[in-house]
Amino acid sequence: MDMHIHPQDVLDALRKVRDVSSQSDIVSLGYVKDIEVTGEGRVSFALQLPNPSSAASEQVIQAAQDVVRALGVANVQVQILAPASSPGPAAAGARSNLIPQVKHTVAVASGKGGVGKSTVAANLAIALMRAGNQVGLMDTDVYGPSVPILMGGSNEPHVVEGKIEPPVEFGVKIISMAYFLPKDEAVIWRGPMLHKTIQQFLGEVRWGALDYLVIDLPPGTGDIQLSLSQTIPLSGAVIVSTPQDLALTVASKAIAMFQKLHVPILGVIENMSTYVCPHCGHQESIFGHGGARAAAAKMGFAFLGEIPLDTRIRTQSDAGKPVALDHTTPYGKPFAQIAAALEAEVAKVGAEEEITLE
Most confident of 82-86, 93-97, 204-208, 349-353: 204-208
Q: What is the pLDDT of residues 240-276, one digit of tens each?
A: 988 875 556 777 888 888 888 889 999 999 988 766 6
- Are 76 and 112 part of one and the same domain? no
Q: What is the pLDDT of residues 44-77, one digit of tens each?
A: 888 888 777 777 888 899 999 999 999 988 889 8
Residue 221: give its domain's CATH number: 3.40.50.300
Residue 116 belongs to a domain: yes
What pLDDT is recorded for position 188?
63
- Are 30 and 175 part of one and the same domain? no
- Are 264 and 146 part of one and the same domain? yes
* pLDDT at residue 234 greater than cutoff 80: yes
Q: What is the pLDDT of residues 162-214, one digit of tens each?
A: 899 999 999 999 999 888 876 666 666 666 777 788 888 998 999 999 999 99
What pLDDT is recorded for position 65?
93
Q: What is the pLDDT of residues 92-149, one digit of tens each?
A: 444 446 898 999 999 999 877 778 899 999 999 999 999 999 999 999 988 778 999 9
* Helix, coil or strand: residue 261: coil
- Are 326 and 230 part of one and the same domain? yes
Helices (DSSP H) in the chain: which residue ranges?
7-14, 55-69, 87-98, 117-130, 147-150, 191-203, 223-231, 245-260, 291-299, 311-318, 333-357
Q: In terms of Cα–Cα distance, which of 215, 196, 191 is closest to 141? A: 215
Residue 20: which domain range? 7-80
Q: Is 0.85 surpassed by the pTM of this model?
A: no
- Are 129 and 13 part of one and the same domain? no
- Are 105 and 175 part of one and the same domain? yes
- Are 229 and 96 part of one and the same domain? yes
Residue 298 belongs to a domain: yes
Q: What is the pLDDT of residues 14-29, one digit of tens each?
A: 989 988 766 678 887 7
What pLDDT is recorded for position 310?
82
Residue 288 belongs to a domain: yes
- Are 242 and 352 part of one and the same domain? yes
- Are 222 and 186 part of one and the same domain? yes
- Measured CA to CA in angstroms, residue 36 lies from 5, 8, 52, 253, 285 at distances of 11, 10, 21, 29, 51
What pLDDT is recorded for position 353?
59
CB-based contacts of 66: which residues, under 8 Å, 6+ apart?
none
- Give the CA count within 13 Å in the CB-facing half-sphere of 26: 30
* pLDDT at residue 313 greater than cutoff 80: yes
Residue 283 belongs to a domain: yes
Number of domains in the chain: 2
Residue 60: give its domain's CATH number: 3.30.300.130
Q: Which of the 8 DSSP states describes residue 289?
A: S
* Domain end marker among 80, 103, 119: 80
Q: How many CB atoms lie within 10 A of CB 288?
A: 17
* Domain end marker among 30, 62, 80: 80
* Domain end marker among 60, 80, 100: 80
State the chain's mean pLDDT as an integer: 82
What pLDDT is recorded for position 255?
86
